Structure formats: C-alpha cells, structure tokens
Amino acid sequence: MKIYTKTGDKGTTSLFTGTRVPKHHVRIESYGTIDELNSHLGLLRDQDMDEHSKKTLSLVQEKLFTVGSILATEPKKDKRLKIPRISSEDIEFLEQEMDRMNEELPEMTHFILPGGHTTVSYCHIARTVCRRGERMISYLHENEPVPENILSYINRLSDYLFVLARKLSKDLNAEEVKWIPEKLDWQNHFFNLNVLSTIK
C-alpha cells in the first residue's frame, strides 16, 4: 500500500465520506488537533510512570481515534461510521480517574506553573493541545453539529491531564511551583507613571 496518493497536492483532502475540502477547513483543523494530541499522549506514555496511568493513556488514545473518525465524517452521513461512539461511560471513567487521583493529592490553593520535571511538562503540553482541540471542535460545532459527548469528553480529558500532571509531580517528587501574583505598590506605580510623563 502506497502512503502517498498525490491527491492532496493542491491543498485539499477527503473526509471519510469522500467529500473534498480545503486542508485548512475547520473540520480538518479539529481532527488534526486531536491527532496532534494523540501523538503527545504517546510521548507522555513513553515516560517513566505507573502502569495504571500508562494503561489509562492507552485507552484514551484509542478513544481519540474514535473522536477523530467522527470529526472526519459529515453529520448528515454519520450513520456510515460502523464504530463505537463516545459514551457517557467514557466520560464518567475520566471523572472517576480524576477523583481517585485527587484523593492522594494536596488541596490546590494557587494556580500552578507548568514544569518541575520533563514528564510533568509533557503532560501539561498535552493538556494545552487538548484545550486547543476543544476550541476548534467548539468552533466547528457553531457551523455543523458535533455530538455532545465529543465536546464533553475532550473537555473532561483536559481536566484529567491537569490532575495527572499533579499526580506525576507527586510521584516524581517534583516541586509544584505556585503562581503567586506580585503585589503592586500603587504609590510607586503612580510615581513611576508621573516620572515617565515628565520624560515624554
């Protein structure tokens, strides 16, 4: 089987139904971002972590192939897809995983800066790509309906990845760096503004 077909050389590609659309079409951007997310999850899964988290990420990767397949299909031809759909049980599974991890984590009182360990950083990158995917799918949904469970699953997945990043920080003894906004000295602030205005 040849990988290259040359059919996309002029900037178009086919949906599952055969319809040709521009490669910058929001539907392509949507499932392309899910593909990007899946690659980041593969990189994350290859890091040093507990087997349960690895198995969960593998399961999520499989679900993302389902998400991508649905997004690559026009709503009016959706019935042609002979694959399982994203179910409420899939969403509940992520919620249960988050609840389980949260039981062992300290209460979060501040925003957390991404980082502290390479594995944790990979997890945060996956989380932000997931958020971008959610934004693209939401944009697509404004013009063409997307199954509600798809939006819910991707939203919940980004939350899961945030909690997983915290769990990995704990497991790897990495420091969670809190974001504590710098308090503004208003007198100095206004003094500096006045000085700047005289310079101008």
Query: With the CA atoms of 141, 142, 143 and 147 taken in that order, what torsion angle do they form, in degrees rounded to the nearest 10?
Result: 20
Tens of pLDDT along 164-194?
A: 999 999 999 998 888 887 776 655 555 455 5
Q: Is residue 1 part of a domain?
A: no
Tens of pLDDT along 43-59?
A: 999 999 999 999 999 99
Q: Is residue 4 part of a domain?
A: no
Q: Is residue 5 part of a domain?
A: no
Task: State residue 195's pLDDT score.
Answer: 47
Q: What is the DSSP string of 63-108?
A: HHHHHHHHHTS-GGGGGG--SPPP-HHHHHHHHHHHHHHHTTSPPP
Is a pLDDT exceeding 90 seen at residue 60?
yes
Is a pLDDT exceeding 60 seen at residue 115?
yes
Contact 112, 127 (CB under 8 A): no
Number of helical H runs and strand E runs in the chain: 6, 4
Q: In whole angstroms, what is the distance from residue 23 CA to residue 125 CA?
A: 24
Q: What mean pLDDT comes out for the span 6-21?
A: 63
Q: Is residue 2 part of a domain?
A: no
- Least confident interval from 15-19, 115-119, 172-176: 15-19
At 120, which CATH number?
Answer: 1.20.1200.10
Contact 86, 150 (CB under 8 A): yes
Q: Is residue 6 part of a domain?
A: no
Tens of pLDDT along 126-141?
A: 999 999 999 999 999 9
Task: State residue 200's pLDDT score.
Answer: 46
Average pLDDT of the chain is 86
- Could you tell me the residue range of the domain that residue 83 belongs to? 12-199
Is a pLDDT exceeding 80 seen at residue 13?
no
Task: State residue 190's pLDDT score.
Answer: 52
Half-sphere exposure of 30 (CA within 13 A, CB side): 28
Which residues make beta-bridge pairs with 112? 178
Number of domains in the chain: 1
Task: State residue 194's pLDDT score.
Answer: 56
Task: State residue 20's pLDDT score.
Answer: 62
Q: In the structure encoding, which two tokens stand for residue 111, read together?
A: 């925003």
This prediction has a pTM of 0.84
